Structure 1
Amino acid sequence: MSKFEFDEKVLSDISQTADKVSSSRRKLIKLSLATAGAAIAGQVLPFRTAHAQSGEIHVASMFDLTGNLNIYGVQAMNVSKYAVDSINRGGGVLGKKLILHAYDTQSKIELYSRYAQEIGSDDRVAAVVGCFTGASREAARPVLSRYGKILFFPTIDEGGECDKLTFMQGSDCLQQEAPLIEWAAKTVGKTFYIVAADYVYGHVATAWTQSLVSKQGGSIKGVEYVPLDVSDFGSTIRKIQTASPAVVMSNLVGNNHIAFYRQFAAAGLNKNIKIISPTFGLGNEQTVLTPEEASGIVVAYSYFESIDSPANKQFLDGFRKMYPNAGPISDPPVQVWNGWQQWKVAVEKAGTTDTAKVVAALESGIPYVGPSGKVSTDGPSHRNIQDIHLAKVSSRQGFEIIQSFGQVKPSREVVGAGACDLTGKDASSHRMINPKF
């Protein structure tokens, strides 16, 4: 068992500390299912096989190329196009050329459900790599599942997905927060202050933080949830100054929350208090902030550009040639790449794009070695077993890897709701689990 694998004690601790999450999760699921069409929930059509025509296989991606989430979506779509182009230059899949249908969802949830319906009803489309936020995924996932389409979701998230046709590429809370907290407790100190975005991810991630800090023998000096539209952190800074923790765990997200790091540094707190975070850098925030504001922040992801390997060098060289002005690449776009490559490997093992056979091939754990190293699907959870790296922001606004953990397993538990086993008791599932506390 991995040293960071979830155990019953941690699950019990999280269940006791995450009471606030339930109503937020219910609202998210209710909204998402309403957007997608509540009538389809629990009514999944039989698996349908995509029909290749004229030596072609059609696939699709949905990302926010415009709107307030385009800081994430543009690069994800760039890499999706790059991956498909690379696969085609290498001979395609089963000797057939991939045709990518690229959708701009404009940072609008309703467009995810609309385009998912369009993709789902197109019998040619064999697989989808797309969505960025949990809300966008939950607008698209039920629709795609209804039509028997495989979805690869590339972003880190809090968990709860239990869908036979959905594969979670990004790191989960356990894979990121356990090594971050262990490192901080050993090298910085054992008193923590948590600042989190006030929505479902922030609450669930904070529940993980509280339990894992306890497991390391540490203590929590304070917890604050900050609405997504807040950019004035004056009161938060004062509370942190009063609490005087050794470490701040930042579970903040989005454009407005970048202001926290700037104000934290302006108050001089970055000289004495270490910030660790499972979310900083997803939108290349280290390039928006000055070196004085961001240097030393420690994060955890499966991918950093500074990974020294032939596969990463080849990936970066090809991407820079195709998109010379695209800027730095963070973890989610590389998970987009991994999603397409893992799907290709599974299709070729199965010898077909037949959905059930491709899912079975993925669940068998066949490995793919790419820019982030070796990745393989953990069958019961449909999450990747992958390397996790701790890195700190350097004075050059990049990331310097300081510690690596090989082949870290994801959690098979759903916070507050037990386990989801997609190769056992939940083998026919197509749903999002709503934790009950």
Structure 2
Amino acid sequence: MKRNLPENTLSCPAGHEESRTTITRRNLLKLSLAGVGAAALGRSFSAMGADAPGADLHVASMFDLTGNLNIYGVQLMNASKYAIDAINKGGGVMGRKVVLHAYDTQSKIELYSRYAQEIGADDRISAVVGCITGASREAARPVLSRYGKILFFPMIDEGGECDKFTFMQGSDCVQQEAPLINWAVKNAGKTIYVVAADYVYGHVATAWTQSLVAKAGGTIAGIEYIPLEVSDFGSTIRKIQAAGPAVVMSNLVGNNHIAFYRQFAAAGLNKSIRIISPTFGLGNEQTVLTPQEASGIIVAYSYFESLATPENKTFLDGFKTLYPNAGPIPDGPVQVWNGWNQWRLAVEQAKTTNTAQVVAALESGKAYVGPSGKVSTDGQSHRNVQDIHLARVSSQGSYEIIESLPQVAPSREIVGAGTIDLIGKDKAAHKMVNPKV
């Protein structure tokens, strides 16, 4: 039995999950329809009520507001609520109010698949901005795709997504790691030691690291994969000391891995070895660490708060009015904002929420100018062309932009597994291609 949810409220408080598992004849029919093909469902949305004249438009977000990954999830959900609120204040989409269904996935993979099933079975919801890790995305994506729902994934990622209904907002490994590695080889040294989270992103990002280091003329001094629950890096620090690299590439993530930077500095290694990272700062790690522990770390993202543009000023003023205690805004929340606004423009261009037509509008590459600058979808990869900035953590714990690269194209390659073309040979694909590492 489905509940009508008020705008911008959490749809499943902890401890009330059982109320969401009621099986009705109607839900069983919906589950059977999931097998008839996502494309057919995408074409049928208008008949199912999502495009009823004058009706509210319903969308959803799934983020971890509790658990190990809430250092990312809270800000991402704040940005989702803020984006929908701003869209509504600006007149909505096609003059219609947008209603956000917000789900707390509690850092539990099983909740991503459960809530994706519920979202999929809700005829009203046409698009989702959500998920944090590759594992959570891959728990939700196949379910949402079967139901013909568009998913915008706002975080950096490892690549391999080949799904007509999925759009990757965050920078990919090539957009981030190539500038970082090129900078490091030129300015710090050619020997690089890699520490990475022991899950899909860490392994695939490290495969890209190895390829890009070789291309830049550097060498890999060592590689170590760290389980997400590990917070004692004593043995890792000793291995780095023994290897003596000029640079450490950190592909670490999550609450526990913040300890690496603290222990690295405590051992005095930050005085002689430079850290570069495509993940540091996504959870505002620079505010958890002392300036002495974080100072000098080099990162690469499409967004930093210091970007001096009218669009960024407007974004920051509104966000900090709504969430005055939220702290610094990293890249992910801005990608959430971009995702909702790219969806808004695509719906208005298509004049419908019909999945196939909105996907075609997104693939046309219409640009949106937001807090991070101009972004547009590359139709073949379903990834954004966007500006990339390299920045250094200062001795005050803030970011200093040291280099900016305009309109960096994403990769259409899946490491070790060829290329994708979602407007050509893969235009009917709804799959994940496992990169070969």
Runs of 4+ in 1 over 4 A off after TM superposition: 39-43
Do 2:277 and 2:297's aligned partners in 1 also have CA atoms closer than 8 Å?
Answer: yes
The corresponding residue for 1:411 is 411
Give the Cα–Cα distance (whole angstroms) in 2 for the partners of residues 403 and 257 of structure 1. Answer: 27
What is the deviation of 1:45? 5.3
What are the residue-to-residue correspondences of 1:10-409 with 2, within 5 Å?
43-44=37-38, 46=40, 47=42, 48-49=44-45, 50-52=50-52, 54-409=54-409
Q: Aligned AA for 1:282?
A: L
Do 2:34 and 2:147's aligned partners in 1 also have CA atoms closer than 8 Å?
Answer: no
Do 1:169 and 1:335's aligned partners in 2 also have CA atoms closer than 8 Å?
Answer: yes
What is the deviation of 1:136? 1.0
**Residues 128 and 329 from structure 1, CA distance in 2 versus in 1: closer, same or farther, beyond 3 angstroms?**
same
What is the deviation of 1:208? 0.9
Do 2:71 and 2:254's aligned partners in 1 also have CA atoms closer than 8 Å?
Answer: no
| Residues 130-166 of structure 1, C-alpha deviations (whole Å, 9 max, x = no match) | 1111111111111111111111000111011000000
Structure 2 residue matching 1:414: 3-state secondary structure: coil
Give the Cα–Cα distance (whole angstroms) in 1 for the partners of residues 407 and 205 of structure 2. Answer: 21
| Residues 344-381 of structure 1, C-alpha deviations (whole Å, 9 max, x = no match) | 11111111111111100100100000000000000010
Give the Cα–Cα distance (whole angstroms) in 2 for the partners of residues 336 and 289 of structure 1. Answer: 25
What is the deviation of 1:396? 2.1
What is the deviation of 1:43? 4.6
Give the Cα–Cα distance (whole angstroms) in 1 for the partners of residues 146 and 326 of structure 2. Answer: 35
What is the deviation of 1:420? 1.2
Do 2:366 and 2:376's aligned partners in 1 also have CA atoms closer than 8 Å?
Answer: yes
Q: Which has the higher contact order (CA 8 A, sep 6+)?
A: 1
Do 1:42 and 1:431's aligned partners in 2 also have CA atoms closer than 8 Å?
Answer: no
Do 1:42 and 1:430's aligned partners in 2 also have CA atoms closer than 8 Å?
Answer: no
With normalisation by structure 1, the TM-score equals 0.89
Structure 2 residue matching 1:293: 3-state secondary structure: helix
The corresponding residue for 1:32 is none
| Residues 76-133 of structure 1, C-alpha deviations (whole Å, 9 max, x = no match) | 1111010000001101100111111111111111111111111111111121111111
Give the Cα–Cα distance (whole angstroms) in 1 for the partners of residues 395 and 248 of structure 2. Answer: 20
* Corresponding residue pairs, total: 401
Give the Cα–Cα distance (whole angstroms) in 2 for the partners of residues 86 and 332 of structure 1. Answer: 18
What is the deviation of 1:263? 0.9
Give the Cα–Cα distance (whole angstroms) in 2 for the partners of residues 344 and 386 of structure 1. Answer: 18
The corresponding residue for 2:424 is 424
Do 1:40 and 1:142's aligned partners in 2 also have CA atoms closer than 8 Å?
Answer: no
| Residues 35-89 of structure 1, C-alpha deviations (whole Å, 9 max, x = no match) | xx9x968953511322346441111111111222111111111110100000011
What is the deviation of 1:322? 1.0
What is the deviation of 1:434? 2.3
With normalisation by structure 2, the TM-score equals 0.89
Q: Aligned AA for 1:62?
A: M
Structure 2 residue matching 1:157: 3-state secondary structure: coil
Structure 2 residue matching 1:118: 3-state secondary structure: helix
Q: Aligned AA for 2:406?
A: G
| Residues 298-317 of structure 1, C-alpha deviations (whole Å, 9 max, x = no match) | 00111111111110010000
Structure 2 residue matching 1:260: 3-state secondary structure: helix
Structure 1 residue matching 2:38: 3-state secondary structure: coil
Q: Aligned AA for 1:115?
A: Y
**Residues 45 and 121 from structure 1, CA distance in 2 versus in 1: closer, same or farther, beyond 3 angstroms?**
farther
Q: Aligned AA for 1:157?
A: D
Identity within the alignment, %: 77
The corresponding residue for 2:5 is none
Structure 2 residue matching 1:71: 3-state secondary structure: helix
**Residues 79 and 297 from structure 1, CA distance in 2 versus in 1: closer, same or farther, beyond 3 angstroms?**
same
Two-structure CA RMSD over aligned residues (Å): 1.7
Do 1:390 and 1:401's aligned partners in 2 also have CA atoms closer than 8 Å?
Answer: yes
Unaligned runs of 5+ in 2: 1-30
Do 1:149 and 1:355's aligned partners in 2 also have CA atoms closer than 8 Å?
Answer: yes
Do 1:57 and 1:124's aligned partners in 2 also have CA atoms closer than 8 Å?
Answer: yes
Question: Relative to structure 2, which stretch is displaced further, 225-234 or 140-149?
Answer: 225-234
Unaligned runs of 5+ in 1: 1-36
Give the Cα–Cα distance (whole angstroms) in 1 for the partners of residues 266 and 81 of structure 2. Answer: 40
Give the Cα–Cα distance (whole angstroms) in 1 for the partners of residues 361 and 38 of structure 2. Answer: 21
Give the Cα–Cα distance (whole angstroms) in 2 for the partners of residues 270 and 185 of structure 1. Answer: 17
Do 1:151 and 1:167's aligned partners in 2 also have CA atoms closer than 8 Å?
Answer: yes
Do 1:127 and 1:151's aligned partners in 2 also have CA atoms closer than 8 Å?
Answer: yes
Structure 1 residue matching 2:100: 3-state secondary structure: strand
Give the Cα–Cα distance (whole angstroms) in 1 for the partners of residues 331 and 125 of structure 2. Answer: 26
Give the Cα–Cα distance (whole angstroms) in 2 for the partners of residues 429 and 251 of structure 1. Answer: 29
**Residues 216 and 42 from structure 1, CA distance in 2 versus in 1: closer, same or farther, beyond 3 angstroms?**
farther
Do 2:413 and 2:419's aligned partners in 1 also have CA atoms closer than 8 Å?
Answer: yes
